[in-house]
Amino acid sequence: MTRRTAARAAAMTAVSYSRVLGANERIGLGLIGAGGRGQYVMTLFQRDSAVDVRAVCDVYAVKTDAAQQKAPGARAFVHHERLLEMKEVDMVLVGSPDHWHKDHSVDAMAAGKDVYVEKPLCRLREEAAEMVKAARVYGRVCQVGVQQRSGQVYEEAREKYLKSGLVGRVAHIDCVWHSGAPRPLPTTPAVQPSNLDWVRFLGPVKYRDWTPAQYLNFRAFLDFNGGKMTDFGHHWLDTVHMFMGERGPRTAMSGGGVFYYQDGRTAPDTISALFEYDEFSVHFASLSSPAGGEYGVTFHGDKGRLYVNRNRYEFQSAEKGAPLEVTKFPGDITADHVRNFLDCCRTRQRPKGDVGLAAISIQPPLLAVQSYLEKRLIRFDPDRMETIPS
């Protein structure tokens, strides 16, 4: 906990800690990070008739203006601390860039707010423990946007094929999530917009002058995030943990590079990682390719193969002549994940994508980023959640 967080916690009343939302009570939502994803998930919250969006926060006034169009009457802020001072805000949706996730979430929980934070959980491995600690110390519900946890397609596939034993013993899992055709980084606007707080955007990241590419495509820079490994990898490694057990790997090794555009980006456009767990291995791959194949996770067992993504699962038995079994699920599972969060805010139960689970599943992708940067195999103790010196 930082001194600022500790001071805020000391000022809170016992009522703030123990408040439980009633079934018919109005719920005040604050949005921190009003980009496209933040605004979209906000509209999913608004499907609950009890939810009122009471505040929106972003470093760029264009985004808060757009969010207010969807939430008339919501107050607009640049500094999230001002939003958190509002007693009318009961819960916070964190849709800010990855390098702000920890501070926005911890500050919100210290202020007595429940938190729904988009994935990846955090930018640095040590931040994960801070976020879990905040949720437990302040007694807050903290849902992470690993929405597979709430998807019927995943729950059903796990029960029907994995837990039943139809897949058999799983020794290897393939995770694939490609990102389409490579594109150069934006170079405009060359001059920083007057209604955009660039220094506030940088936050905990080392200062540099206005660079449009780093604002408009922050995922291309490892100062702000872990690139594809944390953008896509956290989803799929969390799915692996959901199916195979909430425990990290023993080793992580990754390779790749910036192969298409030498335009200053530091996050690889092509990445592949291999993780060794106690009883199975996991391979993750993400290419910049328009024809790289469908995204999804494949569990290879000695009795069959199970493939699952957000809208479909397929099972192929190893028995000769067995037909391919396919089941489809239309719609966006994010709405189910938001509903689970709101239910837990009322019951005070831990949500399906609880921060404690996400703190484990964020470890492998962040270990892979470390491996990529250091060009070596990383050994990991999944019990102590610490790297082992080599």
Locate the domains of the chain by residue range.
3-148+338-361, 164-329+362-388
- Identity at 135, one-letter amino acid code: A
**Which are the contacts of 101, defined by CB distance < 8 A and separation ≥ 6?**
94, 117, 118, 120, 121, 122, 123, 127, 131
Rounded to whole angstroms, the Cα distance separating 45 from 52 reads 9
Pairing of strands 386-388, 91-94: unpaired
Rounded to whole angstroms, the Cα distance separating 180 from 189 reads 24
- Residue 256 tokens read as 């790749």
The answer to whether 254 and 371 are in contact (CB under 8 A) is yes
- DSSP, collapsed to helix, strand or coil, labels residue 282 as strand
Rounded to whole angstroms, the Cα distance separating 372 from 266 reads 11
pLDDT confidence band for 8 (50 / 70 / 90):
very low
pTM here? 0.94
Q: What is the percent of the chain with per-residue pLDDT over 70, rounded to a whole number?
A: 94
Rounded to whole angstroms, the Cα distance separating 288 from 44 reads 30
Which of these, 101, 87, 96, 15, lies nearest to 54 by C-alpha position?
Answer: 87
Rounded to whole angstroms, the Cα distance separating 138 from 164 reads 38
- Residue 148 tokens read as 């597979």
Q: For position 22, what pLDDT does the model report?
A: 58
Helix (H) or strand (E) holding 240: helix 233-244
- Residue 194 tokens read as 């007057």
Q: For position 5, what pLDDT does the model report?
A: 46
Fold annotation for 3-148+338-361? Rossmann fold (3.40.50)
The torsion region of residue 245 among left (phi > 0), alpha (psi -120 to 50) and beta comes to: left
The answer to whether 352 and 337 are in contact (CB under 8 A) is yes
The answer to whether 145 and 118 are in contact (CB under 8 A) is yes
Q: What is the DSSP letter of 351?
A: P
Rounded to whole angstroms, the Cα distance separating 328 from 133 reads 38
Q: Is the pLDDT of residue 98 over 80?
A: yes
Q: Is the pLDDT of residue 255 over 60?
A: yes
Q: Is the domain defined by 164-329+362-388 classed in CATH 3.40.1110.10?
A: no
pLDDT confidence band for 192 (50 / 70 / 90):
very high
Q: For position 14, what pLDDT does the model report?
A: 35
How does pLDDT run across 210-248, given as a tens digit for each residue? Answer: 999 999 999 999 999 999 999 999 999 999 999 999 999
Taking 3-state DSSP, the helix, strand and coil percentages for the chain, each rounded to the nearest 5, stand at 35, 20, 40
pLDDT confidence band for 135 (50 / 70 / 90):
very high
pLDDT confidence band for 21 (50 / 70 / 90):
low
Instruction: Calculate mean pLDDT across residues 114-132.
Output: 98
Rounded to whole angstroms, the Cα distance separating 245 from 240 reads 8
